[in-house]
């Protein structure tokens, strides 16, 4: 089994002391943070709720799978062994755009904002749309139950080109 690398950006800009109702003791709390970049699903924070998610691959074949809240879409594709060619080549380290997915506009509008590294990688993606995201950066949430995501029909997997060259 391949190991996954998880890159976390923990840049914080300010610290505040927050008191919770009924508490006399203030708790430190960061006001601003940069989302972490990680393909490894967050096992600790997951409630274990199952949602149905539909994936449409490059050939137009639809696969419907039940997924656990807190998993990234990259992890879902890998764990469920979905038929999506070349998906997740960098294993979620934000070094490629092979987990490029296209979302419905209503879903895309609700997703967490992109970090700069994801934007940079999407600039390299084939078949880019205004609702494109990287599957390694999208974590399944309860409200996503029933959503459909599409894999772009165009892909550029350099591994296949290198293998083709080495067999000649």
Q: Tell me: the pLDDT tens digits for 2-43? A: 333 333 333 333 333 433 334 344 444 333 333 444 444 444
Work out the number of other CB atoms within 10 angstroms of the CB of residue 54: 13
- The per-residue pLDDT for 51 is 95
CA dist 164 and 143 (Å) reads: 42
- Residue 58's pLDDT band (boundaries 50, 70, 90)? very high
Q: Which helix (H) or strand (E) holds 118?
A: helix 116-122
- Contact (CB, 8 A) for 74 and 92: yes
Q: Which of 64-78, 83-97, 131-145 has the lowest mean pLDDT?
A: 83-97
- Contact (CB, 8 A) for 68 and 49: yes
Q: Is the pLDDT of residue 49 over 70?
A: yes
Its pTM stands at: 0.66
- The per-residue pLDDT for 154 is 66
Q: What is the mean pLDDT of residues 58-85?
A: 95
């Amino acid at each position: 089994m391949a190991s996954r690398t998880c890159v976390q950006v923990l840049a914080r800009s300010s610290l505040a002391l927050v008191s919770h109702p009924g508490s006399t003791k203030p708790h430190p709390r960061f006001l601003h943070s940069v989302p972490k970049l990680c393909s490894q699903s967050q096992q600790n924070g997951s409630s274990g709720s199952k949602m149905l998610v539909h994936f449409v691959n490059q050939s137009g074949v639809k696969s419907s799978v039940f997924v656990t809240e807190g998993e990234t879409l990259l992890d879902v594709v890998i764990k469920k062994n979905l038929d999506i060619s070349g998906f997740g080549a960098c294993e979620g380290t934000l070094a490629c755009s092979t987990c490029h997915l296209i979302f419905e506009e209503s879903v895309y509008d609700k997703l967490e904002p992109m970090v700069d590294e994801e934007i940079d990688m999407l600039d390299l993606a084939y078949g880019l749309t205004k609702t494109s995201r990287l599957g390694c950066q999208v974590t399944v949430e309860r409200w996503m139950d029933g959503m459909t995501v599409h894999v772009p029909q165009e892909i550029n997997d350099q591994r296949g080109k290198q293998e083709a060259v080495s067999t000649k």
